[in-house]
Amino acid sequence: MVKQAFEALGRRWQRFSQPGQAQLQVHLPGQASRLVPLHPGTYRIGRDNDCQICVDHPAVSRQHALLERRGSHWLLSDDSSTNGLWWQGRRVQQLLLRDGDSLRFGPSQEAGLPELDFQIRPLPQLQRLLRATSLMLAAAALGGLGLQAISGLQVPIRGSLATVRGPLVLYDRQGKAIATAQAKEHRELKALQGYPRVLIDALLASEDSRFWWHPGVDPVGTGRALVTNVLGGRVLEGGSTLTQQLARSLYPDQVGQGETLGRKWRELLVALQLEARFSKRDLLLSYLNRVYLGVGWGFEDASRHYFGKPASDLKLEEAALLVGLLPSPNGYDPCFDPQAALSSRNAVLSKMGDTGRISADQARSGRRSPIRLSPQACRSSTSLRGVPFYSDQVGRDLDQLVGADVAAEGNFLIDTYLDRNLQEQVERLLRQRLSTSKALGVGEGAVVVLDSRTGGILALAGGRDYRQSQFNRATMALRQPGSTFKLIPYLVALERGVKPSDPISCAPLRWRGQTFSSGCGGNLSLVSAFAISSNTAALRLAQRVGLDALVQKARDLGFTSPLAAVPGLALGQSEVTLLELTAAYAAIANGGVWHSPSTIRRLTDGEACNGQSSSQCRQANAPTTSQAGRRVSSEATARAMQQLLRAVVQRGTGQMASLGGQEGGKPAQPMTAAICSLSAMNPSAIGWWVSGWVMTTTAPAAPAAPWLQDCGARSSEQPDPDA
């Protein structure tokens, strides 16, 4: 009953949080603009008179695009059109529309093309206030149900709040230690008195001024955030207390992820339970000991790192600097962005003055003080962030191996697959690509390198700059794979007896009410159709084998992302991760044997070392963690698929990747996958993604660094004739 009630409240929140009426303005050359109000539902856009939004222009396909309401947003999707949808100078397959977005029915440099402008007409202020009032009354009406749920909920918390986390020591494939924040011994103070009053005052002034009297949830802060967000039409302000932040940190499985009403509700329940079981002083001590500050956990670790002294000796401006790290530990790191750190520190000092925790003179004096760090602070900060994306992924893989609760205890010795030379090449080449593509509006990218024989991750870059964003785009970001997913229908067809030389029609095709155009009108061999990336040929194979078979084969190849059994699946409509895509191609290079990708080669329990050195302990106690591979295709089928992949590079859309050897591949838009060497000796798979352009490759692992330089720099996609 409670669950249904809060689901209803969530739906009401989505409805009330709408900033206004959505509308689409259609611009046709030589004609007056037309305004189309949008109501929940689906709109087909095209030249056909049957389309809900008709755009009569030669550049517009008969069925060009689909516009549909998704929750509180509008999603615009290209419906296999000839000229595509162009946004900010690049072609897009799907786009979640925002107020002010403008799209063209063709390349941005072409003149005289129709355009669409998406707008949200603001609601009158009175209507916004009525919405806010209605939502607050609905929340209050459910308060009694909430209290009932709290009383009946099984308490997930147990044990002490102050469990000391042991170190995680990482080693590369040569057995050399990798410097990370996790490798340092974590220090926790046993009593709140160990932390100076000035640090506690800075923390409470900045993060939770009513901590001592609220029950875990601050009704004033929550109410203010609720009204601000409703009136603003989006999330502008949070209302989390220290206890709620502690709930997220200590119990991520119970609380969950994402900015959803359900997650906030679970966070509230856990926070209330923490307050009921532990004292305020215990909760505050746990927060001070466990909060993440970029260089480790807790203010004691951060104080020793940045200032070379225990937290008990912190001065006012030093305490304010550490508290100022909380909103963005990496973004406000004084070693990497001293101006941002200074600004955040001064904001904390101002809050302390405004709340009366220090005098105006003390606040002014603190703001006038320059940042003074330990001489070793920035040197060690640089070393700790040597391979941050890779180290973060090690943590996620450890969670999978031993469980999140055990992994959080730490004290493990972890041998990884990391190849330092290859990692340096990966990071350098990614920076180069992003730099050369800056004029095209390219902002981010990712690279992952796999050992096809074991699934070991040899190198990984999850973005342009870890300091700016810790989101790993190689392993966590979902992107449409485009034509790289054509691997699946061709592989299934080969398994069912189709030969590379067999003919396949590439003529236009109509399937499930959709018309798919083509730049080809006759028959091609299977290998030629794959080489030129014919959409209609891939769709015909999908028709022949069945969409359910495609989904099943993708699951066999390790894709766990949601896959929709629709015609667009064969063309890469469903979103996947770069890691999933790379592992699938690696299986083909590995003769049809798939390995689950992982950073961890060997795991040793540090608590079982009994005085042995780390080297002795790792050799004596740690078996290899890599699992036996799973055959997903016969060797004969894998060899046939390799033949098709080589044809792409030798004479198809991936010719720029040719190095004159056994390379093969599959470029595509928005994702590009390729296999740049199908050598049986030490194969490794390499996946690239650069702002919607991805390349997945395999190559010999031993000379990987120079090979990556050549293959990575030269690989490019030629235009898809059916795009």
- Give residue 681's pLDDT: 37
Strands (E), 304-416: 412-416
Assign residue 12 a region: left if phi > 0, alpha if psi is -120 to 50, beta otherwise?
alpha
What token pair was written down for 408? 């959080």
Q: How far apart are CA 718 and CA 486, in angstroms?
A: 16
CB 489 within 8 A of CB 456: no
- Give residue 556's pLDDT: 96
Distance of CA 57 to the CA centre of its chain: 38
The half-sphere exposure of 402 on its side-chain side, counting CA atoms within 13 A, is 18
Residue 670: pLDDT over 50: no
Q: How far apart are CA 520 and CA 500, in angstroms?
A: 18
- Give residue 14's pLDDT: 44
Any idea which of 8-17, 347-356, 673-682, 691-700 has the lowest mean pLDDT?
673-682
Write out pLDDT tens, residues 101-136.
899 998 867 778 899 999 887 655 545 555 555 555
Any idea which of 32-46, 58-72, 74-88, 138-152 has the lowest mean pLDDT?
138-152
Q: How far apart are CA 217 and CA 281, in angstroms?
A: 16
CA 465 → CA 332, 334, 419, 578, distances in Å? 14, 16, 20, 18
Q: How far apart are CA 81 and CA 65, in angstroms?
A: 7
CA dihedral 620, 621, 625, 626 (to 10 degrees): 20
Q: How far apart are CA 176 and CA 226, in angstroms?
A: 51
Q: How far apart are CA 402 and CA 58, in angstroms?
A: 59
Segment 437-463 shows an average pLDDT of 85
How would you class 585 by CB atoms within 10 Å of its CB: exposed for 0-12, middle for 13-18, buried for 19 or more? Answer: buried
Q: How far apart are CA 416 and CA 149, in angstroms?
A: 44
Q: What is the DSSP letter of 546?
A: -
Segment 692-701 shows an average pLDDT of 44
pLDDT-derived band at 49 (thresholds 50, 70, 90) equals confident
Strands (E), 514-565: 514-516, 523-525
E strand or H helix at 319, and its extent? helix 316-323
Highest mean pLDDT pick, 394-403, 478-487, 593-602: 593-602
Residue 396: pLDDT over 70: yes
Write out pLDDT tens, residues 217-244.
887 766 665 655 555 544 445 568 888 8
Beta bridge partners of 117: 25, 102
Residue 379: pLDDT over 80: no
* Amino acid residing at 440: L
CA-CA-CA-CA torsion sign (219, 222, 228, 229): negative
Any idea which of 343-347, 549-553, 687-691 has the lowest mean pLDDT?
687-691
- Give residue 120's pLDDT: 85
What token pair was written down for 105? 């029915």
The 10 Å CB-count burial string (b at 16+, else e) for 241-251 is bbbbbbbbbbb
Decide the pairing of beta strands 168-171 and 412-416: parallel
Residue 721: pLDDT over 50: no
CB 199 within 8 A of CB 189: no
E strand or H helix at 8, and its extent? helix 2-16
pLDDT-derived band at 376 (thresholds 50, 70, 90) equals confident
Write out pLDDT tens, residues 298-330.
899 899 989 999 999 999 999 999 999 988 777
pLDDT-derived band at 165 (thresholds 50, 70, 90) equals low
Model-level pTM? 0.58
* Higher pLDDT among residues 225 and 548, named by residue: 548
State phi, psi for 558 to the nearest 5 degrees.
95, 5
What token pair was written down for 320? 């304010």
- Give residue 544's pLDDT: 95
- Give residue 235's pLDDT: 45
CA proximity to 212, closest of 183, 192, 230, 231 = 192
